[in-house]
Structure 1
Amino acid sequence: MTTPVDFGILSLGSALGEPQSVADTVGDFVDDPERVLRWGYRTYHRAAPGTTPTDLAARAARVALDRAGLEPKDVDRLIVADSDVPEYLHWDLSASVARAIGLRGTPTLLLSQSCAAATLAFHQAAGTFAVQPDTEHILVVAVNQVSEGHRNRMRTNTCLGSDGAAAAVLRRGHGRLRWLATEQITDPECADFFRAEFGGSAVPVAPQGRSNLDVDPLSRVHEHFARDPRRLREFVTALNSRIAAVVDQACARAGVNREDISRLIYLNDNQHSLAGAAEALGLPLERTNARLAAELGHCGGADQLLCLERHVEQGETAPGEVVALAGIGSGMHWFATLLKA
């Protein structure tokens, strides 16, 4: 089990919006509540009015730094992963978070590959550690705050959108939660899935009387498959087989076997999808984040770090076990990072 660079997670931290009952609020978002209730979520988190992604990200970062016993001056690089609509255009969230937590002159990087961004940040961190021998600490922060002016948190896909952030302090040479490998598969034919139609440079302003909330976010998926149920079923089957494929690639890179993986931390997806991902990897559902997903909701790219923090706190990751952080992101991207607990 060899890696080109040696680093691990020194500490984790998180920040969440206010907890909300799905059963009590689902009628505020959709006119077919049973569809959402079947997903198996019990609660989700909604940021208080006036809260921004910068606020959530900074809160999580401060918790992680405090737990690591570090000051902002000890951070050599900041990587911020944002998985929803940015606060502003022509603007950099990573610089905003750096300012909020008191970094001065520290290099920052913004990743925006939707739900894949934070897990892929480990690959970026590995590269930094490899080419900059004087780098000792990298702070990774992932944030997701649903922009309710652009998306309905219960209609965007088959996940229930939630607001939260997670942070990890990575330390060179740290032996716990040690990075083993990161891999990614991209299917560019699916690049338009789940896109917001209006507000970008292609269509800066929505037509009169329309908004992104009027567009069925799954319409692009159905159009891609020409509304052919057979082709759509084949694609759904391929979703899980590609999860297995990208995890196998990471295992090969790290010199471990799939059977060595003791826990899968997947997207905080609906319970049916989580069961499918677990089956694809040959793991029982209780060895996934299914229980946490039902309580946290889908916090975009922050899901894996949020759940990892809780599994560690609850003593569910024994030293030496291999943990897979994996999922699917818009684009479409299948991704996996392996850690040795």
Structure 2
Amino acid sequence: MHGRFTIEGFGRHVPERVLTNADLEAIVDTSDDWITTRTGIKERHIAAPGETSSDLAVVAARNALAQAGRTAQDLTHIFYATFTPDAVCPPASSILQEKLGIQGRSAVDMNAACSGFLYALEAGMGALALRPGSTALITASEITTCRTNWADRGTCVLFGDGAGAVILSDKEPKPGQAVIKDIITKSDGSLWPLLTVKAGGSGWPLKLGEQVKEDYFIEMNGPEVYKNAVRSMGQVCEEIVTRNGLAMDDVDLFIPHQANLRIIEAVGKRLKFTGDRVMVTVDRYGNTSAASVAIALSDAVSEGRVKSGSTVLLTTFGGGFTWGAAILKFI
């Protein structure tokens, strides 16, 4: 990579309302034991009526700015990862810019499904390389529950709402900040039918008066998603660690996409990460899609899971299929 890319601040925000597995028992044919055994999820945060993706993102952004000792006026770019924007148009990034009280900045939405945060992070690095001296807000925010079919027990138990954010610059890092050592993003469009939210797109347009159907919500071939997620995240982690002259033993904390505990454990086993070396937040947030890794990273910092000199490996996987990995070094 060319140039220095510093994460100055980390932030996250989740809605106040908590939906437990016991609560779900009253909604769909399921049980706490069934959910916990298969996913590791105990609860998730759910947006209040009228609460939007940008409402969550603005709080996460302000938290990241505060930790970085920055204000919104310092921002030159906003990269906003989501598959659940406030509206099809305008972009959620423009709405977020207005809520931050700034104008005239570059702002763009990015949809790489659950891999969105790493894709947006890489785009932010590109902006800094092209425009040295820039400061970018990288945020990922989802109201996944607006696209959750509460009659489908195979998917409705998995998802939650939340937002994560980081402040990215090319400045010399300070203690508590992190340098991005490398990043890889990948995709395989041949597998897109395995994980979809189709209705409302140009290929599946909605018609006035038409009843909402199953394809408006998240539809997933669980076994195939599991198989591809474990393989793809494992391979990309091995690739990025090797090309940076590292070994898995050099990684102090592994932060994978928080889809479900079985996937986390399977990838960790392949890479020989166990115990405290693996960051797990899926039990309390569920799968927050693009926000997943960003929230987990912010929690890792606030909980003291990283310290000066820590090497952190991030990886993610989502619809598309998309996937990726990044290596951070904390100062």
Q: Give TM-score, length-normalised by structure 1.
A: 0.86
Query: Distance between the aligned counterparts of 1:261 and 1:96, measured in 2?
Result: 38
What fraction of aligned residue pairs are identical, expressed as a percent? 22
What is the identity, as a one-letter code, of the residue corresponding to 2:203?
A
Partner of 1:274: 264
What is the identity, as a one-letter code, of the residue corresponding to 1:18?
E
Stretches of structure 1 that go unaligned for 5 or more consecutive residues are 223-231
Q: What displacement does 1:155 show?
A: 4.4
What is the identity, as a one-letter code, of the residue corresponding to 1:145?
I
Partner of 1:104: 103
Query: Distance between the aligned counterparts of 2:152 and 2:27, measured in 1?
Result: 6
**Number of residue pairs matched by the alignment:** 324
Q: Is the 8 A contact 1:278 1:285 kept in 2?
A: no
1:125–1:246 Cα change, 3 Å = same
1:205 matches 2:195 = no
Q: Is the 8 A contact 2:11 2:60 kept in 1?
A: yes
Q: Give TM-score, length-normalised by structure 2.
A: 0.88
1:314–1:214 Cα change, 3 Å = closer
Partner of 1:258: 248
Q: Is the 8 A contact 1:243 1:334 kept in 2?
A: yes
Question: C-alpha deviations, 1:296-338, integer Å up to 9, x for none?
Answer: 2221111112111111122211222221111211011121111
Residue 171 of structure 1, aligned match among 169, 172, 188: 169
What is the identity, as a one-letter code, of the residue corresponding to 2:214?
N
Q: CA RMSD in A?
A: 2.5
Query: Distance between the aligned counterparts of 2:143 and 2:151, measured in 1?
Result: 10
Question: C-alpha deviations, 1:205-263, integer Å up to 9, x for none?
Answer: 37965512787823xx38xxxxxxxxx67x74453232121112222443433332221
Query: Distance between the aligned counterparts of 1:213 and 1:74, measured in 2?
Result: 41
Query: Distance between the aligned counterparts of 2:26 and 2:272, measured in 1?
Result: 38
What is the identity, as a one-letter code, of the residue corresponding to 2:171?
G
1:195 matches 2:196 = yes
Residue 310 of structure 1, aligned match among 282, 286, 299: 299
Query: Distance between the aligned counterparts of 2:152 and 2:9, measured in 1?
Result: 32
Q: Is the 8 A contact 1:166 1:306 kept in 2?
A: yes
1:162–1:216 Cα change, 3 Å = closer
Structure 1 counterpart SS, 2:78: strand
1:209–1:325 Cα change, 3 Å = same
1:104–1:278 Cα change, 3 Å = same
Trace 1:103-122 onto structure 2 (pairs within 5 A): 103-122=102-121
What is the identity, as a one-letter code, of the residue corresponding to 2:308?
P
Stretches of structure 2 that go unaligned for 5 or more consecutive residues are none
1:297 matches 2:296 = no
Partner of 2:273: 283
Query: Distance between the aligned counterparts of 2:151 and 2:256, measured in 1?
Result: 19
Query: Distance between the aligned counterparts of 2:69 and 2:133, measured in 1?
Result: 19
Structure 1 counterpart SS, 2:230: helix
Q: What displacement does 1:131 show?
A: 1.5
What is the identity, as a one-letter code, of the residue corresponding to 2:240?
A
1:141 matches 2:139 = yes
Q: Is the 8 A contact 1:26 1:36 kept in 2?
A: no
Structure 2 counterpart SS, 1:120: helix
Partner of 1:225: none
Structure 2 counterpart SS, 1:185: strand
